[in-house]
A and B are shown apart, each in its own frame.
Chain A
Amino acid sequence: MLDTFAYKAPQSKELLLDMLATGDSEVKLLSGGTDLLVNIRNGVYHPKVVVDLKKIPGFDAITWDKRAGLTIGPSVTINAILTDVKVQQHFPLLCACAKDLASYQIRNRATVVGNIVNASPCSDMAPALLCLDATIIIESRQGKREIPIAEFFTGVKRTVLRQDEVVTSIHIPSDKAGVQGVYRKLKRIQGHDLGIVGVAIANFGNGARIAVSSSAPTPVVTPLLPLDLSVPKVLQAVNAIIRPISDVRCSQEYRSFMVGEYTKRLWKEVIS
């Protein structure tokens, strides 16, 4: 049974920003609900008000423009990304990460923005968005700010978002279109599961970046690495950004080892 709360579904962004303006910490935003409702059920959150974003026109839009790049609205689901022809064509790494996120039914509900805002270290969408230099667009009654995704996460389940703010879109610049990439996620079972480690690699032609999930307090990414870098140097660059811990899913040693292993395999597969 869920705690008692009121359900609100504002019909416009203006109404939404008004609802958030008080900065009340007992207001929670609902998009796909695949994290929020489980967290309420488990007693992690006790909201007084749940605000549904999905009734706001335009929030489910994926827009692509050769100059402006790709914009993903806050209620765009993972399956919407996977079935969008423009995303498939221009951002294969985004699709690679989306494909590995949870199960089919969950992908029908879970959103890209939710996966980022939830700020789990094992976020599956973050590795792609980190490699592709996504910008998080945040709005409130105080105005609008744009934060590079690398600065968005501040810790385990923590972000720069204030209580009166909402992420109104994620933007990927057009110069990242066509970047090829692969995502590999280690799980306990072949079916849907949270990652033990996840490694994404993006080849920009003039260099490559590697992003890692489940191996630090936040998902992390390397700087641009030269394509002729030796494998030991690549591993060094990856080891410099991760801070793995032991937890219920595996030990620190295993996690470290598998990040290295996946990095080696992907570097061979995609770069050399």
Chain B
Amino acid sequence: MRIRVTVNNTIYERDIEENRTLLRFLREDLGLTGTKEGCGSGECGACTVFFNGKTVNSCMVLAAEADGSVIETIEGEASGGMLSALQKAFEEHGAVQCGFCTAGMIMSARELIHQHPHPTRAEIQEGLEGNFCRCTGYEQIIEAVLDVTGGYEPKEELSYV
């Protein structure tokens, strides 16, 4: 079937197989490979994108369902070659290590900040519970979100380091 989708403010019209997931459509049909496939079954959140303004696991959405919808992915986060404030905070706090979870993590963090402009640590943990990170131990990610929302208190450097 033919679908018409707005992705990061660009309208795309494509013929798709009806069993295609939104994730495969974004990655393979549109070449937007910033969104990653981790588990493919809603556990890890690496494929998180905005679907009509709400975050979803794109591995569990059919591209066919997205006909007429508005999608936002990690490729739309930076603008004019400049990282967003959230991306900068991730960079500064070492919240990106291997980077596989980052695209989904940024999407969920953006939604979290939209819901809670000044989130507590607990609200951040709850908002990001659907996104797994196997490198950072989450602390740097939480610090990045706290920093970008004005709640970050720098820790003192250890004197003996």
Contacts and interface: CB of A to CB of B under 8 A. Distances in A.
Interface of A: 1-7, 9, 30, 33-34, 37-38, 41-42, 50, 52, 54, 79, 102-106, 108-109, 190-192
B130 interface: yes
B156 interface: no
B60 A6 contact: no
Contacts of B40: 41
B41 A3 contact: no
Interface of B: 1, 17-21, 40-42, 45, 48, 51, 54-57, 59-62, 64-65, 108, 111-112, 125-127, 129-131
B129 A103 contact: yes
A7 B133 CA distance: 34
A265 B75 CA distance: 48
Contacts of A42: 41
Contacts of A108: 51, 54-56
B65 A105 contact: no
Contacts of A41: 40-41
A190 to B, nearest CB: 8
Nearest to A77: B54
A105 B130 contact: yes
Given A34-B60, A38-B41, A109-B57, A104 B21 contact: no
Most chain A Cβ neighbours within 10 Å, of B20, B56, B59, B111: B56
A252 B32 CA distance: 46
Contacts of B45: 103, 105
Contacts of B54: 79, 108
A104 B108 contact: yes
A38 B108 CA distance: 21
Contacts of B62: 7, 30, 33, 37, 50, 52
Contacts of A5: 18-19
Contact of B60 (A109, A190, A191): A109
Given A4-B19, A7-B62, A33-B61, A105 B41 contact: no
A90 B111 CA distance: 27
B61 to A, nearest CB: 6
Contact of B57 (A4, A7, A52, A105): A105
28 contacts: A1-B19, A5-B19, A6-B18, A9-B65, A30-B65, A33-B62, A33-B65, A37-B59, A37-B62, A38-B60, A42-B41, A52-B62, A79-B54, A103-B42, A103-B131, A104-B108, A104-B112, A105-B45, A105-B55, A105-B56, A105-B57, A106-B57, A106-B130, A108-B51, A108-B55, A108-B56, A109-B60, A190-B129
Contacts of A34: 42, 57, 60
Nearest to A42: B41
B60 to A, nearest CB: 5
Most chain B Cβ neighbours within 10 Å, of A6, A50, A108, A192: A108
Given A2-B19, A7-B18, A37 B55 contact: no
A192 B129 contact: yes
Nearest to B54: A108
Given A33-B62, A192-B130, A106 B42 contact: yes
Contacts of B21: 2, 37
Contacts of A54: 65
Contacts of B17: 4
A50 B51 CA distance: 20
